A = this chain, B = another copy of it.
Amino acid sequence: MMMLVRLNMRMALAALCGGVLLVTLYWSRCGDLAHRPIGSVLSYASPDRATNEIECSINGEYSVACRRDLDQIYVPFSFLHKYFEIYGKLTFVDGTEKFEWSHSYSKVYHPKKKYDPRGTFTTFENYNVEVRDRVKCISGIEGVPVSTQWEPRGYFYPTQIAQFGLAHYSKNITEPPPRVKIIDDGDKFLEKWIVSQDAVLTREFDSELKSNVLRFSTSDQASSQVWLKVNISQDFVLSMDLQLRPNSSMTVILQNKDKKETVYLHYVTSTQLIYAQEDHTYYGIGVDKKWRRITRDLIIDMQKGWALQDRPKRKSPRNKFKISGIILSGSGGVSDIRVSSSSHTAHFHAAARWLRAAQRARGGWPVPARRRVAPGVPDLRPGWHSAMSQGHGISVLCRAYYRSGDAGYLRAAQRALLLLDVPSGAGGVKALWMDKYVWYEEYPTQPPLFVLNGFIYTLLGLYDLHVMEGENSVSLAKKMFDDGMLSLKTLLPLFDTGSGSFYDLRHFTLGVSPNIARWDYHATHVNQLYLLAGLDPDPILINTAKRWEGYMQGKRAAHN
């Protein structure tokens, strides 16, 4: 009887919709469009029921095995994952299994207060630039990352170096102060070094460092060493003042606590970036005979050595390894040896120093790698500039100025503005939308691409400089920021897909398929817009941020 009733209902439905004969309509469009469910969807199923397999024909193109229980069709998530690019995982909470469906895999950070150029840079406290695969290693000489993103030999990518600096600057603010263990400072902390027979170790006052240092000298014999046995777990950022004569080195020994595995990190007097063979990784720290302070994240240095040998990344090596020794070889001096849980300030300043030193006469940081940006667009040839490098560089330099008071950093930041006013065709980074709205190009191609996130990062650099120059100043930075904000607020809607955002506007400038931002870039857009909404009350910013955040939970713009 029930079945009969159901059948009649189906026929009625089919009649109403003008359905094809022999077809039972279930969820076809009939009259009004369906809307997103509000609240819970009722359960049609009961536990432990038998379901029949039923073939689902997907758009008449291929088939997927589904299940059927009475009137309900069940579609396998493995298919939905691929078809809609949604994500899911099984979780166990209080002994109950649950399936968690996620529309996106990224996270939005709502700013807690107005953005301040003296504070964290956007959400960069969550960035770990150096662990990225496209970072070859941290250079031993400059202490900044070396990129392999578009050039496998490795090159200094100013954007990446600046991000490294900004991430560490931000972490330094948000994280608790590091644990610092002084190993040997020549004064209060003195370690007992083991000196092989033909080697020499002395403690003496150094007039340059104005403190006691260790002076060492070993013979040409491989066994001739000065070494210190330590047993340090948990913290892995080693720093020291180091002075090496030619053919000298400082080696750190790491040991796996579980396995019989020893790793050697050699910091050597060489200009070679990195070299690795089996358990030995070598970082050139230059051939300068003067004192230098080196700060190394040993775990990063170890992992990059492995990566160079194509060994797989390991999970949480920080828990598995310990520092077991430091070996000095050749001749030179060391002082103020410390191991800390982090040394964000040192990394930040390394980035700031690099940016100041590497800046060219036009105020730019040329990128020495060829960049294939998009099919149909001429490559950017080595030496190109990026508005994002310029903007990020300014953000780093402003913070370095704020921390150090060194006006040289501020002047460097001001010099970095110049290229933002030079058109892409003339070696700069400026594009115009419809001959009207300025856009600072992350990739200054011709025709332009109008990348969104890089543009906003440039605006933040301009804002940083403007504030550092004095918020009431009438400056070039302020004018450039205002011009850029006008462009952004005008063109922002063009990046809205109705269910996400476009990474750039190449579909407009090249007439190609649009380049949709993957969720992590989309989340970056949302984070950036929330930040800007705190600086500019125009409702387009906050409204777009909110709508775009909704897209990450599966909401969509309405259709007509």
Contacts and interface: CB of A to CB of B under 8 A. Distances in A.
Q: Which of A26, A40, A105 has the most CB of B within 10 A?
A: A26
A560 B82 contact: no
Given A39-B62, A76-B44, A105-B29, A83 B554 contact: yes
A67 B434 CA distance: 53
Contacts of A90: 23-24, 26, 73
Given A27-B77, A75-B75, A77-B74, A62 B83 contact: no
Contacts of A34: 81-82, 85
Given A515-B560, A559-B518, A28 B507 contact: no
A33 to B, nearest CB: 7
A53 interface: yes
A503 B558 CA distance: 11
Contacts of A61: 553
Interface string A18-38: 111011111111000111110
Contact of A498 (B29, B41, B99, B500): B500
A65 interface: yes
Contacts of A98: 54-57
A498 to B, nearest CB: 5
Given A26-B89, A47-B52, A75 B82 contact: no
Contacts of A519: 29
A503 B51 CA distance: 42
8 contacts: A15-B315, A37-B82, A41-B82, A55-B96, A67-B74, A73-B77, A74-B74, A494-B508
A194 interface: no
Given A49-B50, A91-B23, A514 B498 contact: yes
A152 interface: no
B496 A499 contact: no
A48 interface: yes
A99 B66 contact: yes
A556 interface: yes
A27 B73 contact: no
Interface string A302-329: 0000000000000100000000000000
Contact of A516 (B39, B514, B558): B558
A516 to B, nearest CB: 4
A559 B22 CA distance: 40
B53 A45 contact: yes
A64 interface: yes
A79 interface: yes
B494 A497 contact: no
A78 interface: yes
A157 interface: no
A37 B83 contact: yes
Nearest 7 interchain pairs by C-beta: A43-B65, A74-B74, A516-B559, A27-B81, A493-B507, A73-B77, A434-B434
Contact of A76 (B16, B59, B73): B73
Nearest to A554: B59
A50 to B, nearest CB: 6
A548 to B, nearest CB: 10
